[in-house]
């Protein structure tokens, strides 16, 4: 199957057909209609085999995760996802593999009403690059800047499970058999916090999604906002799978530095605490206050009300 046959057969056919897509797949460019009083938010992420997912990861999971990590970035900005473009490099045309990959892509696209509007295919080592665009009301987007000393630090969901799954796959830790399936699911099929992102837009002063690890991603907020932070380690939302599988120190290290959580980390002023807690609770989203910002421009951690050193750093591509 040649390139254009592949595109027509696997990628051009999809169930999502948005009214704001004037021209989709099949030409030199896609054409979308801009919305009045909306800003377009754009993000791009690349996933490389052996770096972002193990080589034996199932194709459907790769497709899902490729979309999910981009929608997670949009969620951190408070945006509603709308369109994606996909550039995929394939070692060869394995039609069964591509069909499963597309199933993973389109399942998530359909759930969030996102249309694939273009991209590229080429031959080489397996990698997937997606550019995702979303819409946010004019001047209401979230960013990493805007946080202030005294703001409270919140995180959605639980931390560390995806990192624990990867440690298990790599043979570095052993977890109980009944935990393996759910942990692998958490690693391979992250759920972008799109609804939470749209809700916190009305309350948060800054936000970021947790892809490289809590310490690393918090550092981006602190740098952009010129603030420091203290993380209360005993407040971290750790799951039973994590605490049952690891010693406390190891569990905490994975939670703050493991990465691949794709939860939202955001800051909220004292005046907005009750509002954001009520709004997310009503939406069924778990959130936890894990610390507070300060004016030191450094990140510290405490455990049982005592200062403890930070022994972990987040993921770095070029370390």
Summarize the annotated binding site as residue ranges. Answer: 28, 43-45, 52, 73, 119-120, 144, 209, 211-212, 260, 315
Cα 215 from Cα 308, distance rounded (Å): 14
Are the C-beta atoms of residues 156 and 193 closer than 8 Å to each other?
A: yes
- Residue among 157, 155, 192 nearest 267 (CA): 155
Taking the alpha carbons of 20, 23, 24, 30 in that order, is the dihedral positive or negative?
negative
3-state secondary structure of 235: helix
3-state secondary structure of 154: strand
| Bridge partners, 154 (sequence order) | 266, 289
- Residue among 196, 207, 197 nearest 283 (CA): 196
Cα 276 from Cα 238, distance rounded (Å): 21
Q: Which two tokens stand for residue 165?
A: 């799954």
**Residue positions forming the annotated binding site for Mg(2+):** 28, 43-45, 73, 120, 209, 212
**Residue positions forming the annotated binding site for substrate:** 52, 260, 315
Cα 14 from Cα 178, distance rounded (Å): 36
Q: Cα 152 vs. chain centroid, distance in angstroms?
A: 21
Could you count the other beta carbons within 10 Å of the beta carbon of residue 64? 23
Q: Which two tokens stand for residue 157?
A: 């969901």
Cα 271 from Cα 202, distance rounded (Å): 12
Cα 233 from Cα 302, distance rounded (Å): 6
**Residue positions forming the annotated binding site for ATP:** 119-120, 144, 211
**Beta strands of 56-203 (E only): which ranges?**
80-90, 115-123, 127-137, 152-156
3-state secondary structure of 295: coil
Are the C-beta atoms of residues 194 and 219 closer than 8 Å to each other?
A: no
């Amino acid at each position: 199957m040649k390139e254009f046959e592949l595109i027509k057969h696997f990628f051009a056919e999809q169930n999502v057909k948005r009214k704001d897509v004037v021209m989709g797949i099949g030409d030199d460019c896609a054409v979308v209609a801009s919305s009045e009083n909306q800003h377009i938010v754009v993000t791009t992420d690349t996933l490389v085999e052996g770096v972002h997912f193990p080589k034996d990861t199932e194709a459907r999971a790769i497709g899902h995760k490729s979309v999910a990590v981009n929608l997670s970035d949009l969620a951190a900005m408070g945006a509603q996802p709308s369109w994606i473009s996909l550039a995929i490099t394939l070692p060869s045309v394995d039609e069964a593999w591509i069909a499963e990959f597309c199933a993973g892509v389109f399942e998530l696209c359909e759930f969030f009403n996102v249309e694939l509007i273009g991209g590229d295919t080429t031959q080489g080592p397996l990698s997937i690059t997606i550019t995702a665009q979303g819409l946010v009301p004019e001047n209401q987007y979230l960013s990493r800047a805007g946080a202030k000393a005294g703001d409270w630090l919140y995180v959605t969901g639980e931390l560390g499970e995806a990192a624990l799954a990867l440690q298990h796959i790599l043979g570095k830790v052993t977890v109980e058999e009944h935990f393996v399936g759910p942990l692998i699911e958490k690693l391979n099929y992250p759920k972008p916090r799109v609804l939470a992102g749209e809700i916190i837009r009305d309350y948060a002063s800054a936000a970021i999604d947790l892809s490289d690890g809590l310490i690393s991603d918090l550092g981006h907020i602190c740098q952009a906002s010129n603030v420091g932070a203290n993380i209360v380690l005993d407040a971290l939302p750790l799951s039973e799978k994590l605490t049952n599988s690891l010693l406390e120190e190891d569990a905490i290290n994975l939670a703050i530095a493991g990465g691949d959580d794709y939860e939202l980390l955001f800051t909220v002023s004292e005046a907005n605490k009750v509002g954001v807690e009520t709004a997310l609770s009503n939406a069924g989203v778990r959130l936890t206050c894990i610390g507070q910002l300060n004016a030191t421009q450094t990140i510290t951690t405490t455990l049982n009300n005592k200062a403890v050193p930070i022994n972990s750093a987040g993921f770095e591509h070029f370390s």
